[in-house]
Structure 1
């Protein structure tokens, strides 16, 4: 068994591309395919940035704080959402933490970086119990007038979906046996994961 063993420094070194390094790391992680796809997407974005700066997309070039900070600034200038930037930083930080622990790189600039948080007021306040009672009362009132909007309104409340997400739902998104909605759109959500959302059985009826 040990005859085929190769030390990591024979497989990956500081001149290895980020994508190749991620593939090697995948062999030592219990990732789902969606998790790996998310990491790969973020790694390729950073690789594209390195290339645009005239640099090779290697572990060596990706570990410098000045380069990482410039990448963050560029994303902010391109109006990339704060949470999206933070997710990308977390993905790259995991990659470099892995290879720092193995002695392949010396630093993890992503862990040392930060993104100035946006101070944006929420679009609306959180609903209190009295607010929910008013919403249900309004739904029942409209029902008596022949206006049936209870299903979409309650679906919004139970799932936290926004209007655009509800308009994308199809019958095949509903798992009737398990009382679930499985929301898997081609457009990635903030965590790049399929959303599995349980619904109350009475609502499913």
Structure 2
């Protein structure tokens, strides 16, 4: 029996090498995920975005699926991609709804989970920056969680929510739904995500 030899064109081999190299570089630097008029990035590390979907309306929230590798606060980078949508009825840039679905891959139980919005990284978001968890509006039934029974929110000097009265063991999942009001002129802002372990 005679074996056939396959000869691959050099251009095809080069193309394959460049393709896989670009995938590796993208995985290392952090992928941009798009939904609604925003992109989301895990480029600062500590967690991995698994998927993003949705428009950002209350009926079709932006669903962000993540896996956390540590118990230290992590930073989700959110960038505005669109300034004007074709259909004004779908203009959700001022207020959009998010659902964050997380998997605890840290190896430690989480007894609380916090979120903090920042217009400038590592600078508390004050009342006048236009960024909040819909601070001035009615949030009734707009904030919920699977995994934690209650939450508290602070508006000054932070824009922060902390979910409590629950525990997410390693390998388990939790989810959080909340609105974000984006009146800031900045095209980039930050969502600090803070899984908290028992203090003793």
Q: Tell me if TM exceeds 0.5.
A: no
The higher radius of gyration belongs to 1
Q: Which has the higher strand share?
A: 2
TM-score class normalised by the smaller sequence: under 0.3
The answer to which structure has the higher helix fraction is 1
TM-score, normalising length from structure 2?
A: 0.23
TM-score, with structure 1 as normaliser: 0.23
